[in-house]
Chain A
């Protein structure tokens, strides 16, 4: 939940990225991999949604790889700090980053100072998806996005809770196209967003998925992803409602540029084991986080596709 806030605040700063690529020590062969304990960076603070998944995944993977995995939280600037740190590491698979792919496919377009590109990293698979959506309380007089638009047109000056730049982008795009007058109430975190909805302070809010925790009190009116969400399969995506604004993000294993392919495969195989691991499934289910595993090649394709698509959406 903390995560989602910070995810929105994807910040900043220039590519130390580039400078780190040169002058790295020779790459180890994959036979001996892993050659010792692995350091897993997480770009959000301890205790949030991503941290929860990361720690659970680390446990499964360390069992598969036979070496301990130390989770190191390095929060800041929506994960950009941790990503920079990763780029300084040797491409030997001993240092990995577990994070939302938004740090590459959205961060660069939200604030001009960010300039990560898909090519700056290697990817060893993706494991869970974020169920981003527009949520409201159970008694709201609308169930779908078109109904909300009709309602908001009749109620100018209604309020919308936004905890990230993307959240503002969505309501601005909808309001501009439909000619709505909506007040955007800034919120700091997923927890604050829940309070604002349950306390009926705002009529609609952007949620990173945490609202699925309160199925008796809250409902989703639009999925902001390109796919219908496992926790609310009956809710249409924003694309189905005529706005080509669906953006997907997933927890991804990042590696420094130049990491050999066989190390990536080995890590991806270990990550895949989480898909069916009893504890991992229990943990993600308890937090309503759907497992949507992608292998190495699929992860590269996903990053490239979302990078181009999000660029188009966020640059406008």
Chain B
């Protein structure tokens, strides 16, 4: 603790503060641009930090990671173009809010949820890094399979109006995820001899195509209507539409708390990532809501759920790195090199050998949360003006950004073709009212479940009885069964009474479906 105080003393000098703030700002802008994610930002910035003091350098790099997680909400809300895939669920309710003239409300809620998620998760990192990491190691493939199954029971609630269409969309997501070299036998699946498909379809161009470009196509078709709408928007900005009201805070507080918790846990578990966190949180919030049918039409809770979890993943994914020296995420893997370079070798010894530097990093991380709040709050009024610009001026710019974003990751024109393919797919899906959410969840979680299931078969030596050596997995399997029972049995009478609610147990089917498809 006394080290943390010293850490703040070290961080609160003008030079360090400047670099941390610069990192957060760069990250915020990178995050808002579709396709330019935190991984690229941090990797490119590492050589730039050679000449900085260790604290300033590490603070700046972590600032970029944190800032981009928050910035990605801006374009998701204003343009329906998530800056990073993990902000896709933010767009689901954030964009409708913006179209209703409540852009600033959505931006503010997104920002507050981001900052709270980030701040609390940083505190979790500080307080629990060492003890938690030991337990994280107990989560192997067998446990992960059970946890994923359990989480799918909640995600199922997302299938939208029609359960059948939701299931079809999820199946398509799983189908597209099977493309590429398979991880156990290394046989290429459905690549049609295309070298570019060997590593599978990348989430970034796919999400950009389906969400952003498809949206622009649809809007281009409605130009006249949108332009009149935009004119009306300019006049209808009432004060209560520009800020978060007390009633909304009350509704969102538990949502943010839950999102933060989910995000922090997902971050600590290896290999799941921010996308899983934000989708899970959004899915659970909708599942537990009294008005699940209103999600997707501009529910402020949707924004809060997605953003709090999205941002909470970043700091907590450093828990395994700090405590054990194991990178728990891509961003942690990139940071490992930067840490070592600046004299801090991640691992349990770090706390004994370099307590002062560790405390400095912690202080810089907390400071970065504050900077995020200030920068985000100052800029959101300016950002929100984008929504008042006529669509005919926005569409070309967004299309350009989409192409740049899709191209950046691989420097290959093929990614733009992938983007265009999924634009067509997304356009049809939207016109025919198929769910994007279940599609993306199928795409993100389906293959993870498949892979950890196959790992588990090997680890259990092909014998179910060996499951007895994995108590954590058993707990989650029992919980899964209990949840299914609860949904299927206990909830059925209610669902039958509610008109417009179709499909009593969408989640069971999705869970089953994901398993079957793998």
Contacts and interface: CB of A to CB of B under 8 A. Distances in A.
Interface of A: 1-2, 6, 8-9, 11-14, 41, 45-48, 51-52, 55-56, 59, 72-77, 80-81, 84, 110-111, 113, 157, 159, 164-165, 168, 183-189, 191-192, 194-196, 198-199, 201-202, 213-214, 216-217, 279, 282-283, 286-287
A59 B51 CA distance: 13
B117 interface: no
13 contacts: A11-B181, A13-B194, A46-B40, A46-B44, A76-B199, A81-B412, A183-B461, A186-B454, A187-B455, A192-B271, A195-B137, A195-B320, A283-B337
Nearest to B339: A286
B140 A196 contact: yes
B326 A194 contact: yes
A168 B196 CA distance: 24
A184 B461 CA distance: 10
B193 A77 contact: no
A199 B140 contact: yes
B193 A195 contact: no
A230 B3 CA distance: 37
B328 interface: yes
B340 interface: yes
B199 A46 contact: no
Contacts of B455: 185-187
A282 B341 contact: yes
A201 B193 CA distance: 35
B6 interface: no
B193 A75 contact: no
A76 B180 CA distance: 11
A202 B140 CA distance: 10
B333 A47 contact: yes
A9 B199 contact: yes
Interface string B460-473: 01100000000000
B14 interface: no
Of the four ranges (under 10, 10 to 19, 20 to 34, 35 or more), the interface on chain B belongs to 35 or more
A9 B186 contact: yes
Given A11-B195, A13-B193, A81-B195, A159 B46 contact: no
Task: In the A-B complex, list the 6 residue pairs whose CB atoms are closest, starting with the nearest.
Answer: A46-B43, A47-B334, A13-B195, A11-B198, A286-B340, A199-B137
Contacts of A47: 39, 42-43, 330, 333-334, 337
B47 A55 contact: yes
Given A9-B181, A13-B193, A14-B193, A77 B340 contact: no
Chain B CB within 10 Å — which of A185, A191, A192 has the most? Answer: A191
Interface of B: 39-40, 42-44, 46-47, 50, 137-141, 181, 183-184, 186, 188, 191, 193-196, 198-199, 270-271, 320, 324-328, 330, 333-334, 336-337, 340-341, 347, 349, 409-412, 451, 454-455, 458-459, 461-462
Contacts of B459: 159, 183, 185, 201-202
Contacts of A217: 324
Given A188-B271, A195-B140, A286-B341, 17 more contacts: A8-B186, A11-B199, A12-B181, A47-B330, A55-B47, A73-B410, A75-B199, A76-B198, A77-B195, A186-B184, A186-B458, A188-B451, A191-B271, A195-B137, A214-B324, A283-B337, A286-B340
Contacts of B198: 9, 11-13, 76-77
Given A47-B42, A74-B411, A186 B199 contact: no
A76 B271 contact: no
Nearest to A1: B333
B411 A72 contact: yes
A76 B324 CA distance: 30
Contacts of A2: 330, 333
A41 B412 CA distance: 12
B195 A12 contact: yes
B39 A46 contact: yes
A307 to B, nearest CB: 20
A164 B186 CA distance: 8
A287 B461 contact: no
A304 to B, nearest CB: 25
B246 to A, nearest CB: 43
A203 to B, nearest CB: 11
A198 B47 contact: no
A12 B458 contact: no
B138 A199 contact: yes
Given A55-B47, A188-B183, A76 B194 contact: no
A48 B188 CA distance: 23
A279 B50 contact: yes
A189 B448 CA distance: 13
Contacts of B349: 216
Contacts of A48: 333
Nearest to A51: B43
B199 A77 contact: yes
Nearest to B41: A46
Contacts of A188: 183, 271, 451
Nearest to A185: B458
Nearest to A72: B411
A115 to B, nearest CB: 12
Contacts of B326: 191, 194-195, 198, 214
Given A46-B39, A159-B458, A216-B349, A195 B451 contact: no
B193 A113 contact: yes
Contacts of B410: 73-76, 81
B458 A183 contact: yes
A80 B270 CA distance: 29
